[in-house]
Amino acid sequence: MSDFAKLAEAVFRGNAVSVKDLTQRFVDSGDDPMDIISQGLLAGMDIVSPKFKAGEMFVPEVMMSAKALSEGMKIVKPLITDKDLSVAKTIIIGTVAGDLHDIGKNLVVMILESGGFNVVDLGVDVAPAKFVAAIKEHDAKIVGMSALLTTTMLNMKETIDLINEEGLRDQVKILVGGAPVNKSFADQIGADGYCADAMAAKEMATKLFS
């Protein structure tokens, strides 16, 4: 097993201590930070994705892998230039107004970041105007909205309506998800896509940016 493969395995296993140790060792040896990320850290999450889809891994395990990856990213990110990070597109994400649930959203954030995206997490109970302000401030190309209650689902539509009113709809793609949300609802409110889980969000975001 190559050294980068060992790092990927440590990410997959959710072993944050090993990830930090191996990543620092690569940095001290003068390895290219982008190689450390792509061949080690992100390669580990590439092992996770199909296993999660196949039901061989579950949310707590995926979160451990994502947290381990983030520990490695903390070490290499300061060494990367803005040019190197040009592939990291900006995504705005938040749980809509009236909804305080964030476990699913937080997992989506970690998975998106593991895919190299620049994620701006607005948190929970995010008003439509706050989504709009964030789009303008960060020049975001994708907006992700989460709702865990049937009573807050319609706030997704209110947010999309305001994005339309502000003339920003052509600028962004809108992805929605959450326990009560489905593709039919996403189509009804004018979203560009429905994400059943964090891995689906990562795949869809990758596809939209490509």
Asked if 142 contacts 115 with a C-beta cutoff of 8 angstroms, the reply is: no
Taking the C-alpha atoms of residue 169 and residue 149, their distance in angstroms, rounded to an integer, is 25
- The mean per-residue pLDDT over the stretch 72-77 comes to 89
Q: Is the C-alpha dihedral spanning 170, 124, 155, 103 positive or negative?
A: positive
Neighbours of 74 (CB within 10 A): 11
pLDDT at 23: 96
In SS3 terms, the chain reads as: CCHHHHHHHHHHHCCHHHHHHHHHHHHHCCCCHHHHHHHHHHHHHHHHHHHHHCCCCCHHHHHHHHHHHHHHHHHHHHHCCCCHHHHCCEEEEEEECCCCCCHHHHHHHHHHHHCCCEEEECCCCECHHHHHHHHHHHCCCEEEEECCCCCCCHHHHHHHHHHHHCCCCCCCEEEEECCCCCHHHHHHHCCCEECCCHHHHHHHHHHHHC
Domains and CATH numbers, the chain: 3-82 (1.10.1240.10), 88-209 (3.40.50.280)
pLDDT at 37: 87
Per-residue pLDDT tens over the stretch 189-207: 999 999 998 888 988 998 9
Per-residue pLDDT tens over the stretch 151-188: 999 999 999 999 999 999 999 999 999 999 999 999 99
Predicted TM-score (pTM) of this structure: 0.76
